[in-house]
Amino acid sequence: MNNAVERLLADETGTAPRADARRSLERLVGAARAALAEVGVEVTAQEIAERAGVGKGTFYRRVSSLEALLQAVLEEVLEEVLVLGDRAVADPDPWHGFTEFAAVYVRLRAESCGVNEALGGAGFPGLDRVLSEIRTRMRKLVDAAQREGALRDDIAWQDVAFLLAGVSTDADTIGLRADRDQWSRNLTVVLDGLRPR
């Protein structure tokens, strides 16, 4: 469990939470992530509580607000992106590291953008630092793949950030409904376009 969720667990007295309180909060965080992925930003505290198998009263005993829970989920997702970025940078095959990061980044980005939108775009303290760290990892991945000759050298790392952001699609376009794996097919096309000619 990440630092943000650990902060949610701490009560005002600073005492360690009971095991049942920890389990309830872990279920709430998992339910919030699943609900955001499925329902989107319209998710309610009631919906999350039902998915977690707890009452609404337990929800508000465990977290101060829906916004606090969504912030913890956003932090958890961004921490995952950082860990995956570190793993990808350490990959001895730069293209493999880049493509593995890209696939997970796109999936998690869709999830985190939903949370960020739910928070009204306000983010949270420290968000700028985390985003800066993600940018650093992405730049390193692009630079390494370009040095290896695996990624086009006429593409700036900033272009890659926007291309990956564009891989996630809206649910509907021109009367068509996207499949659950549409993002994966989009990513395949984008990655193919990033390869040298």
- What is the arithmetic mean of pLDDT over 144-154? 97
Superfamily grouping for domain 67-194: Tetracycline Repressor, domain 2 (1.10.357.10)
Q: What pTM does this model have?
A: 0.81
- Closest C-alpha among 105, 66, 65 to residue 83: 105
For residue 72, the number of C-alpha atoms closer than 13 Å in the C-beta half-sphere is: 25
Range 126-140 average pLDDT: 90
Q: What spatial distance separates the first Cα and last Cα of the chain, rounded to whole Å?
A: 43
Q: For residue range 86-108, what is the model confidence (pLDDT) as tens digits? A: 999 999 999 999 999 999 988 88
Tens digits of residue pLDDT in 43-77 = 899 999 999 998 888 888 888 888 888 888 888 88
CATH class name, domain 3-65: mainly alpha
Per domain, the residue ranges of the chain are: 3-65, 67-194
Distance CA 125, CA 144 (A): 31
**CA-closest candidate to residue 194, choices 143, 142, 151, 145:** 151
